[in-house]
Amino acid sequence: MAAYIAMLRGVNVSGHNTINMEVLRGLCEGLGFRNVDTYIQSGNLVFQSATENPAIFSKRIGEAILQSFGFDTPVIVRTSKEMRNVIANNPFLKEEGIDSSKLHVTFLSETAQKGSVKKLQTLATSPDRFYPAFREIYLHCPGGYGRTKLSNNAIEKSLSVRATTRNWKTTNMLFEMVSKL
């Protein structure tokens, strides 16, 4: 069975779009996923499935959340191999003196339109920097993610895709969890 990571956008933030992680695990088990586990309260799942189509998982989980909880939330899915590549290819890790606690990854629902990444350049004010990849945007926010203009909302608007952002610690923990399945 293949292993996957699903990241929900905007759940359990400031009391909005509340989902209990135990209930979310049960919901996903009801969809036929195996070895479902969650990480922290912000909508991070790892699971296994015999089906090998991540796009179907995004749709099925999103529809189940809408039915069960009454709100729509983007669900971004990556395979364990894709997440391994996200971690291995972070360009900021090759630089000296980078504080990994200031690194984030914005996971995109699809590849951004050619040329749309240029819109992000107007948002990247010093000292914040970004690096576009295939379906991710790597972020380095020395002043903290809460202060950057490269927020998830701004990235979604600039690129016209749905997205969700995770800090570097969470990204690594999700890969560690999915690697054990």
Q: Which of 1-5, 83-87, 111-115 has the lowest mean pLDDT?
A: 111-115
pLDDT digits (tens, 9 = 90+) for 94-126: 999 999 999 999 999 999 888 888 888 988 899
CA of residue 40 relative to chain centroid, distance = 13
| Residue 85 pLDDT | 98
Average pLDDT for 5-29: 89
pLDDT for the residue 53 = 86
pLDDT at residue 12, rounded to an integer: 73
What do you get for the CA distance between the two ends of the chain, in Å? Answer: 9
Tell me the pLDDT of the chain averaged across its residues: 94
3-state helix, strand, coil split of the chain in percent (to 5) is: 40, 25, 35
**Domains along the chain with CATH numbers:** 2-82 (3.30.70.1280), 90-167 (3.30.70)
| pLDDT for res 52 | 84
In this prediction, residue 14 carries a pLDDT of 66
Residue whose C-alpha is closest to residue 128's, from 141, 147, 115: 141
pLDDT for residue 180: 96
